Each structure stands twice: as C-alpha cells, then as structure tokens.
A and B are shown apart, each in its own frame.
Chain A
C-alpha cells in the first residue's frame, strides 16, 4: 500500500512537472492521453467489472462534448457550463440508452449500444443548429475563480486533476460493495439474481456512472480542442476507447490510462513515418486479443509479479 501511494505520488509529480521539461507538443499529447484515459477508464468500469462490453460509449463522450460546447458558448464560460451541465446531460443519456440496452446482454448489448451511439451521429450530422457536419467551433474554456484555463499551465493541472479524481473515484467504486456486486454479475448473473440482488438496477447504475464520466471526458475534450464535431459520436471513438482498454488491460482501471498512453504515443509516432496507421492499429488490436488478452497490465503482472 505504501509503495503504491509513493508510486502514485511520483507519477503525479512527473505529470505536473512535465510542462517545465517538455515542449508544447509533448505536453498536448500528455493532456490528450489523460482525457482519453478518463474516457477509457469509464469504459473499463463497464467492460472489466460489470462485464458489459459496450460498443457505443462514444454516445456519452459526444453528449458531454456537445453540451459543453453549447453551454460554454451560449450560457457563459463557467464551471457549470463546462462540467456540471455536460455531466448531467451525459448521465441522462446513459439512463435512457441504458434502460433499453441492459434488457439484453452479450452480442445484443454490443449491437444496441453501437446503434444508439450512431443515432446521435446521424442526428448531429444533419441538425443545423448543432453545426451539422462542421460541428461547433470556437468554444471558450470556462473561467474558474482565480484560475485562467487559457494559460497552458493551468489547463494542464486542470486535466491532470480530473484524471486523478476519475482514477480515485473509480478505484473506490470497484472496491466498494457495489463494485463487488458488479463483479458478481460479471461472473454469474443468474446466481446474483437468485441470491436476491436487483441485477438490472446495478447494471443500470454502472452504465450511468460510466456514461457520466465519459461525458466529463467529452466536455474536457471540447475544452482541450476548442471545438466538437459529429465524429465524436462515430463508432471509431467507441472503438478506440475499447482498444485502449484492451491494450492496457481489461478490468484493471490503470489499463485504461496505460492503453490511452500506448495508443496515442503510437499514433503520433507511427503517423509521422507511414500512412498505414489503421493497418498497424488493427493488427495490434488483433494480436492483443489473440495473444495478450490481459493487456499491458496483464503482461506486467505475469512478468514481474505486479499485483492489483
């Protein structure tokens, strides 16, 4: 335990001091990794703990991103517009989609979540007041009391704080009685039902929690880029998060962050050498599923005896 706290403190210090040591581009990469890491960790709560493999997690990333863009542009650039309203909107979207989707499981769940997320894509792609296919551009960052997020350093701390908070909250959740019920559902849903747990209610709550966090990630992403497009809803967004979780290690939380790091570093590295990034991505994904289903964290545990 002491080692883990020490390790966390070291990593956190390194992340916070990174802008002093590195140039503009690497710092942006790190922020992107942290935002995608938040998104991937929220998906891992569903996949790795509750056993609900969702191919439509982009729905909540996109809702968070779009609502943040609208609220920040029209209602004023404050914390409520940038974070609270998007999180509530994503939670509501997750409640509705979850209500429909958790009635089925396995491949049906995959197909339904995928289809629902693409419905958002279809709507945002056509609706004029959402900017149609161009999306919403020129979104201001929120003004927090005493903090100017337009300063690069402040935004870096802001994003890092959310990544840390997400990690801690999810860590607390998966170790709570609630988290153990989720794992029980993953292992044997019928048994949990028979023992007397209201399985659907637990699944729906997990879905809403994951959706809310994904919405926060989307809102942060809008603030990071300054714009949002229908692409945020596209199946590729869900797919990439899925890839990050699998590369990092399903059911480990940390894997989401590591996977996001591996994915984004690889992407920026590879795309400067070759155009065949998608091919490499697909092959990496296939090889991980075939030979390293435990992902990076799984491989590390096997190799150096690292434990959860």
Chain B
C-alpha cells in the first residue's frame, strides 16, 4: 500500500476518533457527575443529526445547524433530566440506566415518525465540500475540518473544566456531590446543566457526523456501542481517557478494515477485551474497589 494511502487511512481513523471523542466525552461527563450511564446518548447523536438536517433544509446554512442542533438537543436533555431522571436519584443507580434504555426506543420511533426511515445525508458546508491533496493523494477537506474542530473542542473542554470556576464546581460535584451542595452550590442545577451539556455534545457530534455518515433512525443505537467501548477502554469519568480511547478505537476501526476485512467489525471488541484483561478500570479510570 502506498504511503499516501496509509496516511489517508490514518487520517480517516483520526476523524472517526475525533467524532467518537465528541460523543463519548458527553457520556463520560454525565457519568462522572450523575453516576448514570446514559444509554440514550446515541439517541442524542441521532437527534442532533436530524436537527442539523432540518436546519440545513430550512436555511441552507451548515454553520447555523452546528449551533442550533446542539442547543435543541441540550434542551431535550435538560427536560429529560428534570422530568424523569431527577425523581430516580434516590433509587438504585441501575434504575436510571434502565430508564435511559427506554428512551432509545422512544427517540428512535419519534424520529422515524417525523422524518421516515430512509437514509439521508447532510451536505458539507461549501467551504469544505472539496478535497485536498496530501502526499499525492486526495483527501476530503471536510474530514480535515472534523479533525481540527474536534481537537479544538478537546482543548476548550479541558480549559473549561480545569481552568474556570464552573469547571471547579463540576470537578467538585464529580468528586463529592453532597459535599459540594453543602458548600452552598445548587447541585441540582449543576446536574441539569451537565446533563444538558452532555446531550448537546452528543447532538453536536451528530451534526458533525451528518456529512460523513448518513443519517437514519437506527444510527443512534448503532453508535452507542463504539461510544461505550471508548469509555470502557479510556476509563469511565475521565476526560483524558475519553480522548485517548476515542483515538485508539478510531484507528482500530480503520486498520481493522484494511488488514482484517473479514472480521473488521469485531476489531474494536478485541481492543476492548485486551484493555479490560490488563486494566479492568480502563486506561485512565480510577482503580475499582
């Protein structure tokens, strides 16, 4: 295989990894804060893609979709947290996981009833509609945009969480929610905010994915599994783990298709099994008791 093809594959893996990062970071943030594994997180991704689709259809502006879709999904997330998750905080945490599982069915069917079951795609913005030449091979410029956007988002998230007051509150809440509430912080509002932010990030990744991976209702359930594998590999509740896990799984997916086309779909599970065998808590997870 020529060098340019190898590089193109590595970049494909990177853009998929970055996409997984945007998705899994919301999952890991919500878990860190609320102790809930939001199984409906893939549904937020799907809702984001369709909200983006609707925005582009109405305005023709991709950048507007990149703004509007996360907002819309964030609002849905906030409503979900307030209405149904909050009453369950006193119950065993698994009840909340089960509840989010029910929402996979609801969201998928609602989307299907509005937009139908056919496969659609979001057109990439004009600015990134073409391709660029890298080492003699053509590479879609939109994927380069995804890589850049995702890495910028990673830095922004890191700055927010590590360098701002809001980030300090979130870190305190992750460490000990009760104590944080005791310090006079309205932890319920932080919970809602974090859930909404996680949902918005899920929605954002859905819009980003629109031009690469086509939109159809089962996409939400389908992306959930890779996102969960990322957090298992990286360590649940860890921002760094989410980034490293995403990039690793992104590469595993791409190189699996190149080298082992017959079992490519199973590649990411092999990576997961290897990590779990060596470090059950994931690469950057807190050690399990």
A residues touching B (Cβ–Cβ < 8 Å)?
53, 55, 100, 103-104, 106-108, 110-112, 114-116, 118-119, 122-123, 125-128, 235-236, 239, 242, 246, 275-279, 281-283, 285-286, 289-290, 293
Contacts and interface: CB of A to CB of B under 8 A. Distances in A.
A123 B268 CA distance: 12
B110 interface: yes
A123 B263 contact: yes
A3 to B, nearest CB: 33
A285 B266 contact: no
Interface string B245-289: 000000000000000001111100100110011001100000010
Contacts of B231: 111
B94 A278 contact: no
Interface residues of B, number: 45
B105 interface: yes
B236 interface: yes
B91 A282 contact: no
B105 A282 contact: yes
Contact of B276 (A100, A125, A289): A100
Contact of B232 (A115, A119, A242, A277): A115
Contact of B273 (A100, A127, A235): A100
Contacts of B273: 100, 116, 119
A239 B264 CA distance: 25
B264 A126 contact: yes
Contact of A127 (B88, B99, B262, B288): B262
A107 B113 contact: no
B237 to A, nearest CB: 10
A290 B265 contact: no
Contacts of B225: 114-115, 118, 235
B157 to A, nearest CB: 22
Contact of B102 (A55, A100, A107, A285): A285
A53 B39 CA distance: 14
A114 to B, nearest CB: 6
A126 B102 contact: no
A48 B94 CA distance: 12
A290 B101 contact: no
A119 B269 contact: yes
A290 B88 contact: yes
Given A114-B228, A289-B95, A279 B105 contact: yes
Which of B93, B98, B263, B281 has the most C-beta atoms of chain A within 10 angstroms of its own C-beta? B98
B280 A103 contact: yes
B109 A276 contact: yes
A235 B109 CA distance: 17
Nearest to B261: A126
A21 B288 CA distance: 57
B84 interface: yes
Given A112-B232, A286-B106, A242 B93 contact: no
B103 interface: yes
Contact of B265 (A123, A239, A278): A123
A104 B264 contact: no
Question: Which among A116, A282, A285 has the greatest number of chain B C-beta atoms within 10 A?
Answer: A282
25 contacts: A53-B97, A53-B98, A107-B35, A107-B93, A111-B231, A112-B276, A115-B225, A115-B228, A115-B269, A122-B263, A122-B265, A123-B266, A126-B264, A239-B104, A276-B109, A276-B113, A278-B108, A279-B110, A282-B102, A282-B103, A282-B106, A282-B107, A286-B99, A289-B95, A290-B99
B37 interface: yes
B265 A100 contact: no
Contact of B288 (A108, A277, A285): A108
A118 B280 CA distance: 19
A281 B262 CA distance: 35
B182 interface: no
B16 interface: no
B45 interface: no
B113 A106 contact: no
B109 A279 contact: yes
A278 B31 contact: no
B269 A118 contact: yes
A115 B35 CA distance: 19
Contact of A126 (B91, B109, B229, B265): B265
Contacts of B265: 122-123, 125-126
B20 to A, nearest CB: 14
A282 B254 CA distance: 34
Contact of B98 (A106, A115, A289): A289
A283 B269 contact: no
Nearest to B273: A100
A108 B235 CA distance: 10
Nearest to B224: A235
Given A104-B280, A114-B228, A115-B269, 19 more contacts: A55-B101, A107-B31, A108-B232, A108-B236, A111-B231, A114-B225, A119-B266, A122-B266, A126-B263, A236-B221, A276-B109, A276-B113, A277-B109, A279-B105, A279-B106, A286-B84, A289-B95, A289-B98, A290-B87
A277 B269 CA distance: 31
B260 to A, nearest CB: 10
